Amino acid sequence: MCGSGEYYHDFQEYALTEVLDKEGNPVMEEGGIGEIVSTPFTNPVTPLIRYRTGDLAQVTFQPCPCGRAHRRIKKILGAIKIIWRLLMAVKFSSSAKYSSERV
């Protein structure tokens, strides 16, 4: 996290960090959400190329008060699987409630 702002900088000299939508395209809109896919440059022993982290992030292209021009990560929203499970739990509890009301 940057000392001048509340978001994370994407330091591209250490890793290529992509934030991709469901179709695998880069998220380019302000506040867009996608999966973090990383290619780190600092680990020669176990190279990772376009490693899908399974984490969702929200990006921002707004300039940082510190003056760096990197794209920034506004928020890391958590693992895709966990979010999917939460959505399914909400859906299940809603349908269970609906079913019990109909009986």
Cα distance from N-terminal residue to C-terminal residue, the chain: 52
Q: Do residues 36 and 22 lie in contact, with contact meaning Cβ atoms separated by under 8 Å?
A: no
What residues from 9 to 68 belong to the interface with Zn ion (CB under 5 A)? 64, 66, 68
Least distance from Zn ion to the Cβ atom of residue 100, Å: 51
**Taking a C-beta distance cutoff of 8 angstroms, is the pair 32, 19 a contact?**
yes
Is residue 4 a contact residue for Zn ion (CB under 5 A)? yes
Closest approach, Cβ 12 to Zn ion, in A, equals 14
| Complex with Zn ion: residue 4 or 12, whichever CB lies closer | 4
Q: Given the DSSP bridges, would you call strands 15-20 and 72-79 parallel, antiparallel or unpaired? A: unpaired
- For the bound state, the minimum distance from the C-beta of residue 9 to Zn ion, rounded and expressed in Å, comes to 6
Binding site for Zn ion (CB under 5 A): 2, 4-5, 64, 66, 68
